Amino acid sequence: MMLNQLIKEHLPELIDKGIIQFEVPLAPYTSFKIGGPAEVFCQPKSIYELIDILKFAISFNINYFILGNGSNILVSDKGIEGIVIKTSALNKMERKENLISGYCGASLKNLCYFAREEGLSGLEFASGIPATVGGAVFMNAGAFGYEIKDVLLSSDYLEPNLDSLNSLNPIKHLSAKEHNLAYRSSVFQKQKLIHIKSIFQLQPEDPKIIAERMHSFENKRKEKQPLDLPSAGSVFKRPDGFFTGKLIEECGLRGYQIGKAAISEKHCGFIVNLGGATAADVLALIKYVQDAVYSKFGVNLETEIRFLGKE
């Protein structure tokens, strides 16, 4: 049976509510503005709807992908088979004493501004990171020498199996240590856990001082990064002992272009979409850069962004 027919049979109420749609282009939902359609596109408005979608996918062995802000991915021109679950409606934020909590779909920037308004410091470094809370924890996002692990206290999550999802208490808990946070890495990646909410331990401070610090970080980001063009952020992980952008620049690749994808003139660690770039353009440029850097310096560049979808 076709996937859309299965969903119409088993989750008709979510279709009627507009939670589930079919053949939705993904380019508008990624920071690269690249990508073909999702076979099934879901935007759950509650954890219960999310659990129902996950139970359906697991029961029928259907591939699914949790999409946050789409800022660290490259989606295939042919799109993604299976189910894409967009978490943007799961965006509640709360304060309790010196703790700030944010659900998986909350904008990290909005969480940072919420903390500022509440007079709580510690997240200023993250105000310019184009991620959701879920994506930031998943990747242990960082900037300016700080990382999510510096302020993360705990998270709630779902285990992607029917026994757990069908239990009376499907939402599980992780302490800070249990996240196994490392450079752009977490237990969420390694065990494919599904992030629900995180709590951050912050410190009281004058909102004006917090605002000044955030403004300084955001200005540095604007000065150094090509925020005027669509991109997926830093394309490559930083190799030990080297700066990626410098390696690429010394290969003479600043501004190098394949199709409508180009090495940023502003920061060689970024690939930008000049308008109408395809995933094929970006993949070809990534390989060209990797080959050039290895040929000149003997350094293997590992991608930080993830490629999703049909080959």
Q: Compute the distance between CA of residue 240 and CA of residue 227 in angstroms, rounded to an integer.
A: 26
Indicate whether 20 pLDDT > 90.
yes
Q: Total domain count for the chain?
A: 3
Q: Is residue 146 located within the same domain as residue 26?
A: no
Q: Is residue 97 located within the same domain as residue 170?
A: yes
Average pLDDT over residues 12-16: 95
Task: Please compute Rg for the chain using Cα positions.
Answer: 20
* DSSP per position, 80-144: EEEEEEE-TT---EEEETTEEEEETTSBHHHHHHHHHHTTEES-GGGTT---BHHHHHHHT-EET
Q: Is residue 99 located within the same domain as residue 173?
A: yes
Domain end: 32, 63, 86, which one? 86
Indicate whether 311 pLDDT > 80.
no
From residue 210, give the alpha-carbon distance in Å to each of 136, 151, 178, 244: 20, 15, 29, 31
Indicate whether 126 pLDDT > 80.
yes
Q: What pLDDT is recorded for position 190?
A: 87
The domain containing residue 52 runs over which residues?
3-86
- Given 39, 49, 124, 184, the catalytic residue: 184
238 is catalytic: no
Q: Is residue 160 located within the same domain as residue 198?
A: yes
- Residue in the block written with tokens 């090495």: 263
Q: What is the CATH number of the domain that holds 11?
A: 3.30.43.10
Q: pLDDT tens-digit profile of 174-216?
A: 999 999 999 888 999 989 899 999 999 999 999 999 999 999 9
Q: Is residue 201 located within the same domain as residue 133?
A: yes
Q: Is residue 10 located within the same domain as residue 63?
A: yes
Q: What is the CATH number of the domain that holds 136?
A: 3.30.465.10
- Given 39, 124, 147, 304, the catalytic residue: 304
147 is catalytic: no
Domain end: 86, 105, 126, which one? 86
∠ CA 9-12-18, rounded to 5°: 145
Domain end: 55, 86, 117, which one? 86
Q: Is residue 160 located within the same domain as residue 278?
A: no
234 is catalytic: yes
Whole-model pTM?
0.92
Q: Is residue 75 located within the same domain as residue 101?
A: no
